[in-house]
């Protein structure tokens, strides 16, 4: 058995243990995906690479502020909690976190407006053409 590569289940369990240690809990997404190691392992590796990769060009603090902004824009409450802790640990200030949240909120608002206003314009442009 010595020298054999670890199984996907062993790799998954190791990743979950590291997540538990780092976050103090295991997020629901990870709990569910970990039931399918063939999906969980690449997803976990991608998340690690995107936010903490060795070749990452953004500073860690900036990457976590981007994550806060994105999580804010989609209303990912638990992600916001986790990414705020990471951002603080990477040196972000309270004001920087608030600004990242405001950017995400603004983008979310304009996204909603673009959908709604497109429909508004279609409806009322059509009515003007039929007069």
Residue-wise pLDDT for 57-113, tens only, equals 999 999 999 999 999 999 999 999 999 999 999 999 999 999 999 999 999 999 999
Smallest CA-to-CA distance from 13 within 29, 39, 37 is with: 37
Position 99 scores a pLDDT of 98
Read off the pLDDT of residues 10-25 as tens digits, 9 standing for 90 and up.
999 999 999 999 888 8
Position 2 scores a pLDDT of 62
Position 84 scores a pLDDT of 96
Instruction: Show the domain range for 40.
Output: 1-56
What sign results for the dihedral spanned by CA atoms 83, 43, 50, 21?
positive
Q: Is the pLDDT of residue 1 over 90?
A: no
Q: Do 108 and 124 sit in the same domain of this protein? A: yes
| Residue entry with tokens 């999580």 | 71
Domain boundary among 56, 72, 87: 56
Q: Is the pLDDT of residue 129 over 70?
A: no
Position 130 scores a pLDDT of 59
Position 22 scores a pLDDT of 85
Domain count, the chain: 2
| The two three-digit tokens of residue 89, written as one number | 């640990």
Q: Do 24 and 43 sit in the same domain of this protein? A: yes
Q: Do 47 and 73 sit in the same domain of this protein? A: no
pTM for the whole structure: 0.79
Report yes or no: 65 and 92 within 8 Å, Cβ to Cβ.
yes
Q: Please list, residue by residue across 8-34, b when 16 or more beta carbons sit within 10 angstroms of its beta carbon and e when fewer do.
A: eeebbeebbeebeeeeeeeeeebeebb
């Amino acid at each position: 058995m010595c020298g054999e590569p670890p199984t996907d289940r062993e790799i998954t369990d190791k990743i979950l243990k590291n997540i538990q240690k780092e976050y103090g809990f295991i997020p629901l997404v990870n709990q569910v995906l970990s039931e399918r190691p063939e999906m969980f392992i690449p997803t976990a590796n991608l998340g690690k690479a995107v936010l903490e990769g060795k070749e990452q060009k953004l500073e860690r603090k900036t990457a976590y502020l981007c994550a806060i902004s994105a999580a804010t824009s989609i209303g990912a409450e638990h992600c916001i909690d986790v990414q705020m802790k990471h951002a603080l640990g990477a040196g972000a200030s309270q004001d920087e976190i608030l600004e990242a949240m405001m950017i995400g909120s603004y983008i979310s608002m304009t996204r909603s407006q673009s959908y709604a206003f497109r429909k508004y314009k279609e409806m009322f442009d059509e009515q003007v053409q039929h007069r």
